[in-house]
Chain A
């Protein structure tokens, strides 16, 4: 298993880093964020931009870089299938997965595991929530 994981990582890491500047959080949500990696946001925001985005669309922290979420919003509007996924409520990051293969975590279901108290968890009664769209 170790060997397989290392082999997968040898492909995944350079590929995703080159294309998306992936930060290897091990729980990929690129399809929900217009293919803009949210972990590049200095505040690690997974659910949308902060209030500090500059008038020109650049990041509050890095004045010379586009806000990751401005790119995410634009990107999401171009995605044919996953367009509405930007409105999904993303669960807290599992920091134990940092540096592991998101592909393996996807296949094993490991990246879908939310803390037990996180509301969409099936084992718990739902609060009266509006449906999240498709």
Chain B
């Protein structure tokens, strides 16, 4: 088998990792994807390729992830159960492995009604929990869900998502535990703006004995303007953006709002870093890769570490 996940290696070495999200491409030209990825190169350890994010159609995460592999940049392939049944999901997982994708984030996905094809048929053949189990079984037992053997099992570092801020709040850490049992090696959370609530969530996660069993990577959003903060507050499902944050940006003169957004993000990075059990940050600059680099720089996260040689990853830690 070829290379292993670098991200997994860094996390297992105890490094504080930085991941980021690639703006999804609407171009048939791979250069568009590469241009964005090049901005992030060296400032992050791995890059998420989203799967029809917000239920809007874009280039497939599998293709985008492969384009990154071609350039020697490590991708994290997101895959939702919204658009594919169990056959298509497993086919894409195996294909991704063959194309050099090592990191996955498996999720339910925003509903089609949130996107640009609200009249589409929802699939949801299996749920995100079951997809975790399926991916883990492909890796650990080398079988499809049907039980049929794979010729060569993939080596995946399997991620999942959790939203610490959505009801029922007391159930969220338990659901995270269930995801770990189903096969999640790491978790990327919903965007954190309310640090106190997040710290409370992490305390419950620690009480369940999950610290050390799963790497938790909170997402930090970088608002570029008061308008984008307002948009996130109103339009993005499952996102809780405090009014005070929008107000802070609105008070800032327009020309300096981006700078203020970076400042807000840096404050959030510094705050979540202090919380026990936090293994890294996932930076999301919406259509704004430069913002990610600025935050990584200003938060003292650069340069990114190189992996010590001979660290073996893959499989369960």
Q: Do A and B bind each other?
A: yes
Q: With A93-B126, A117-B141 in contact, is A49–B237 under 8 Å at CB?
A: no
Interface residue B122 (Cβ < 8 Å from any Cβ of A): yes
Contacts of B147 in A (CB 8 A): 115-117, 121, 124
**Of residues A57, A87, A132, which shows the largest number of chain B Cβ atoms within 10 Å of its Cβ?**
A87
Q: How far is the CA of A70 from the CA of B190 in the complex (A)?
A: 18
Range for the number of chain A residues in contact with chain B: 35 or more
Q: Mark B232-272, 1 if CB is under 8 A from A, else 0.
A: 00000110100000000000000000000000000000000
Q: With A43-B122, A44-B124 in contact, is A52–B110 under 8 Å at CB?
A: yes
With contacts defined as CB atoms under 8 Å apart, how many contacts are there between chain A and chain B in the complex?
A: 144
Residue of B nearest to A45 (CB): B127
Residue of B nearest to A129 (CB): B181
Instruction: Mark out the residues of chain B between 169 and 220 whose CB falls within 8 Å of any chain A CB in the assembled complex.
Output: 170-171, 174-175, 177-178, 180-182, 190
Contacts of A54 in B (CB 8 A): 166-167, 237
B86 lies within 8 A of A42 (CB):
no
Contacts of B108 in A (CB 8 A): 43, 45, 50-52
Interface residue A100 (Cβ < 8 Å from any Cβ of B): no
Interface residue A18 (Cβ < 8 Å from any Cβ of B): no
Q: Mark A49-90, 1 if CB is under 8 A from B, else 0.
A: 111111111001100000101100110000000000011011
A48 lies within 8 A of B129 (CB):
yes
B82, B86, B107, B127: the one contacting A46 at CB < 8 Å is B127
Instruction: Mark out the residues of chain A between 1 and 59 whose CB falls within 8 Å of any chain B CB in the assembled complex.
Output: 42-57
Q: With A43-B111, A115-B147 in contact, is A51–B238 under 8 Å at CB?
A: yes
B137 lies within 8 A of A119 (CB):
yes
Contacts of B86 in A (CB 8 A): 92
B163 lies within 8 A of A43 (CB):
no
Q: How far is the CA of A73 from the CA of B178 in the complex (A)?
A: 14
Interface residue A125 (Cβ < 8 Å from any Cβ of B): yes
Expressed in whole angstroms, the minimum distance between the Cβ of A1 and any Cβ of chain B is 28
Interface residue A130 (Cβ < 8 Å from any Cβ of B): yes
Given contact pairs A60-B114, A119-B141, a sample of 11 additional A-B residue pairs in the complex whose CB atoms are under 8 Å apart: A42-B111, A43-B81, A50-B128, A51-B238, A55-B166, A69-B171, A90-B129, A92-B130, A116-B146, A118-B133, A127-B316
The 5 A-B residue pairs whose C-beta atoms are closest, nearest first, are: A116-B147, A51-B163, A47-B129, A52-B237, A73-B168
